[in-house]
A and B are shown apart, each in its own frame.
Chain A
Amino acid sequence: MDKRANRIDRRCFLKLLAGVPTFVALRSVGIVYAETRRYGKLVDLGRCIGCKRCMSACKRWNGLIVERDELITDRETDLTANNWTVVNLLFDSRNRTRKTYIHWACQHCIKPACAGACPVTAITKLPGGPVVINEKKCIGCRYCFQACPFKVPRFDFEKRVTRKCHMCYDRIPLLNYMKPACVAACPVGALLFDYKDEIIREAKRRVQRRGGSSYIMGLTEAGGTDMVTILPTIPQDLGLVVAPEKVVNRNLDKIRITAAGFMGASFLTALMYIYATLTRDKQESAHEDPD
């Protein structure tokens, strides 16, 4: 009887042993399949000429105002509630003569940390790829800004909500596969919009053809992003902080930290209890005092 049970156990174990790799394989197939359904944006900095047409197209489509002089070529600009994408000139810190333009916007993380932080689920990752803030729901707490590894969302002081690039999700289904405004406006083909797997393949092809020290940003950063950028050199040299390779939005990690807090709380309670028990005598005598 015992033996039989054992045998079944062993069989079970073997099944499990076979099952794990199958599961892993199926999972990765699932991920790959998802990539053929999801859009991505490719930014090829090797081709960018810094004309800022993407910026003005973005402003036009999304009805954003021109704040100052941000549309002038080579003028340093920061992301704001009205600049959802910016083009800046960066220097290679190892070789100051080498400059490159960078087109910077929300990276549309595959597992967005901003969405994990938003208390009212105003941020969603659409199945098609864009990470979108619902401005009717946003309460303006700016926690998403703190959580984002790329520091992208910005607060609109007039509307009192947080705004950022939404990959023109309102163009894609509406006009039956049109490109985002910035991609459509780029005169030199530095921006590309396609299914994610195509994007990755194209990025690798371009890097291979070009050779040298090109680096593809977005494959592993923050667990992978749907905006993929080809940099002429590694991000550190350009003064871009490399986002951590792992996914930033991990619930287990959050639980770990909160659990540490609970441990602190229990410790405190225990201390208070000990203090109360040890010094109770004092109070008895104090109470005996004729008042």
Chain B
Amino acid sequence: MRIQIKKFLDTILSSVEGSPAFYVWISFLTTLVALGAYALLMSLIHSMEILEFYTNIPWEMMVSNYVFLVGSSIGLCLVSSLGYVFGLQRYEIIGKRALFLALITVILGLSSIGLHLGHPVRGAIYNALTPNMGSAMWYMGTLYPPYIAFIALWFWLLARAELAKTATESEGLKAKAYRLMAMEGLKPYLYQRLPLQKLGEKLNRLLPLERAGLGLDSDGVELRWARIIGTLAFIYALLAYTVEGSLFAHTEARPFWYGALYPVDFYLGASFCGFAWLLAAGIVTYKVKGDDIPAKLRDLFYEMAEILALLLSVGLLFTAYKMGHGLFESAKAETIMLLLKGPFSPAFWMIEIAIGIVFPVFILLYSARKRKMAGVLVASIMVLVGYFVKRYDFVVASQVYPLIKRQYPLHSYLPTFMEVLLISGIIAALLLAYTLGVKFLPLKEEMPIPRAITK
């Protein structure tokens, strides 16, 4: 029976691409994105109230979604830096997929917070004009743009050679588009317009780029630049996510968030999110395309599954410590009880702990030992769901506890319909971007061409 079901699923999945199912999937996602856009438009035309309704709970699902997506991006960046920054060659093959995912998650995460702001454009302007150096949010706004730029550049450096190859192999509009993406043909143009030769010479005199193997025409230059950009991206990722955790941890007036534990907790979360995203996205893509997972990648996936299990167990210990520690602080204890016993307890025990951590640990260990891909896939999706709910609880639970009037009941909160539409639009946009990326960009786990050349 099980085998039959599996066969059935496999046939469906493997026949998807280029088949009606693929188009159904694309149009389903597009519809969700359109509905999200509709919600956004209505909020612009009428009032923001349709998105975020509660005056007492100023940060709602849009913020938790943002924290989730950006955390995923940071985690993915950490995983890909294992290959390019820390020199683990077997991780280099997953670099492109990880970086592409990191790029789209951070962009959609930031659009999630951007739509939550009353005036995003004003935000960009005054963040630069009148900074408040004491505010974590200012650092956040300042650190993410360079982070995105570095991630994008890093991905481009790894994918450029393959894009150029696709361009030469195809013709017509497609070739043009790929040439544009690979920025082929830009070089002669720039050489014509700008005194690049002279600039290059000057730069070479100032910085010994040529000698360090970073000159424009040296072999494997892209890989070396990828290392440098990767290191910068890694540093920015750490800075940005420290600030992200501190943003919550600084608010002394929200006892549940306050304290030095959350910045650390955010890292833990980000790191297991990174592994989980990569496992889930990678395995699903291979299954849907009906391709065989290369042996090397298979090994790597099982190794990553084991690491993920280890990280999750550390996360469980840390959660226990955090909660136990908080129970001894009178200000925090009440909010923590909301999670342990109150209205948030089903979400906390069932999803955050059971589905998000405990079950996946066992499933991951079991399937890594028995070498079962399906188990790894299911577990990593469970981890992602658990982490999404964890961030939701983290943002909302702290705010529903009324601080001013104890005589009030708890503030109630449920996402509004339009808010749900917008969030699902954002998630759908993420999946859509990934689907298109898989179709059109070189995300496949092979050695990046620059590495192949140097070998």
Taking Cβ atoms with an 8 Å cutoff, the residues of A that contact B are 78-81, 90-91, 93, 113, 116-122, 137-143, 145-151, 154-155, 157-162, 239-241, 243-244, 248-249, 251, 253-254, 256-258, 260-265, 268-269, 272-273, 275-276, 279-280, 282-283, 286-287, 289, 291
User: Quick check: A146 and B118 within 8 Å, CB to CB?
Assistant: no
User: Quick check: B242 and A261 within 8 Å, CB to CB?
Assistant: yes
User: Quick check: A265 and B138 within 8 Å, CB to CB?
Assistant: no
User: Quick check: B86 and A273 within 8 Å, CB to CB?
Assistant: yes
Query: Would A155 and B58 be within 8 Å (CB), given that A120-B126, A257-B249, A286-B296 are in contact?
Result: yes
| 23 residue pairs from A and B, CB less than 8 Å apart | A79-B55, A113-B253, A118-B132, A119-B123, A120-B122, A146-B251, A157-B52, A239-B407, A240-B405, A241-B403, A241-B405, A241-B406, A244-B252, A257-B249, A257-B260, A260-B263, A260-B264, A261-B245, A265-B238, A265-B267, A275-B307, A276-B82, A283-B89
User: Quick check: B135 and A151 within 8 Å, CB to CB?
Assistant: no
Extra 7 A-B pairs, beta carbons < 8 Å, given A248-B253, A257-B249? A146-B251, A157-B52, A243-B253, A258-B243, A261-B246, A261-B267, A273-B86
Shortest CB distance B113–A (Å): 8
Would you call B218 an interface residue if the criterion is a C-beta within 8 Å of the partner chain's C-beta atoms?
A: no
Cβ 8 A contact of A145, one of B58, B89, B249: B58
User: Quick check: B132 and A121 within 8 Å, CB to CB?
Assistant: yes
Chain B residues with CB below 8 A from A138, complex form: 118-119, 122
User: Quick check: B135 and A117 within 8 Å, CB to CB?
Assistant: yes
User: Quick check: A276 and B130 within 8 Å, CB to CB?
Assistant: no
Query: Would A146 and B126 be within 8 Å (CB), given that A151-B403, A254-B250 are in contact?
Result: no
Cα distance, A253 to B249, chains bound together (Å): 10
User: Quick check: B254 and A146 within 8 Å, CB to CB?
Assistant: yes
Would you call B421 an interface residue if the criterion is a C-beta within 8 Å of the partner chain's C-beta atoms?
A: no
Cβ 8 A contact of B299, one of A120, A261, A263, A286: A286
Closest B residue by C-beta to A256? B260
By secondary structure, the A interface counts as mixed
Would you call B136 an interface residue if the criterion is a C-beta within 8 Å of the partner chain's C-beta atoms?
A: yes
Would you call B365 an interface residue if the criterion is a C-beta within 8 Å of the partner chain's C-beta atoms?
A: no
Closest B residue by C-beta to A145? B58
Chain B residues with CB below 8 A from A239, complex form: 405-408
Chain B residues with CB below 8 A from A90, complex form: 405, 407
Closest A residue by C-beta to B50? A157
Taking Cβ atoms with an 8 Å cutoff, the residues of B that contact A are 47-49, 52, 55-56, 58-59, 78, 81-82, 86-90, 116-120, 122-123, 126-127, 129-132, 134-138, 140-141, 238-239, 241-243, 245-247, 249-254, 257, 259-261, 263-264, 266-267, 271, 296, 299, 307, 403-408
Shortest CB distance B43–A (Å): 9
Shortest CB distance A198–B (Å): 28
Shortest CB distance B64–A (Å): 14
Cβ 8 A contact of A139, one of B88, B120, B241, B405: B120
Query: Would A254 and B134 be within 8 Å (CB), given that A239-B405, A261-B245, A283-B88 are in contact?
Result: yes
Query: Would A142 and B406 be within 8 Å (CB), given that A120-B126, A256-B260 are in contact?
Result: no
Closest B residue by C-beta to A139? B123
Shortest CB distance A212–B (Å): 22
Query: Would A140 and B118 be within 8 Å (CB), given that A121-B130, A241-B404 are in contact?
Result: yes
Query: Would A120 and B403 be within 8 Å (CB), given that A258-B246, A286-B299, A287-B89 are in contact?
Result: no
Shortest CB distance B153–A (Å): 21
Cβ 8 A contact of B259, one of A149, A154, A257: A257
User: Quick check: A262 and B242 within 8 Å, CB to CB?
Assistant: yes
User: Quick check: A276 and B404 within 8 Å, CB to CB?
Assistant: no
User: Quick check: A116 and B120 within 8 Å, CB to CB?
Assistant: no
Chain A residues with CB below 8 A from B134, complex form: 116, 249, 251, 254
Closest B residue by C-beta to A286? B90
User: Quick check: B242 and A265 within 8 Å, CB to CB?
Assistant: yes
Cα distance, A139 to B249, chains bound together (Å): 21
Chain A residues with CB below 8 A from B138, complex form: 119-120
Cβ 8 A contact of B264, one of A118, A157, A261, A269: A261
Chain A residues with CB below 8 A from B118, complex form: 138-141, 155, 159-162
Query: Would A160 and B48 be within 8 Å (CB), given that A120-B130, A137-B122, A276-B82 are in contact?
Result: yes
User: Quick check: A122 and B264 within 8 Å, CB to CB?
Assistant: no
User: Quick check: A139 and B87 within 8 Å, CB to CB?
Assistant: no
Chain B residues with CB below 8 A from A287, complex form: 89-90
Chain B residues with CB below 8 A from A142, complex form: 58-59
Shortest CB distance A243–B (Å): 8
Closest A residue by C-beta to B122? A139
Query: Would A139 and B260 be within 8 Å (CB), given that A149-B253, A248-B253, A283-B89 are in contact?
Result: no
Cβ 8 A contact of B141, one of A119, A150, A159: A119
Chain A residues with CB below 8 A from B90, complex form: 282-283, 286-287
Closest CB pairs A-B (n = 6)? A140-B118, A261-B263, A160-B118, A260-B260, A261-B242, A120-B126
User: Quick check: A137 and B126 within 8 Å, CB to CB?
Assistant: yes
Chain B residues with CB below 8 A from A241, complex form: 403-406
Chain B residues with CB below 8 A from A154, complex form: 55
Shortest CB distance B109–A (Å): 15
Cα distance, A244 to B251, chains bound together (Å): 13
Cα distance, A253 to B258, chains bound together (Å): 11
Chain B residues with CB below 8 A from A263, complex form: 264
User: Quick check: A158 and B251 within 8 Å, CB to CB?
Assistant: no
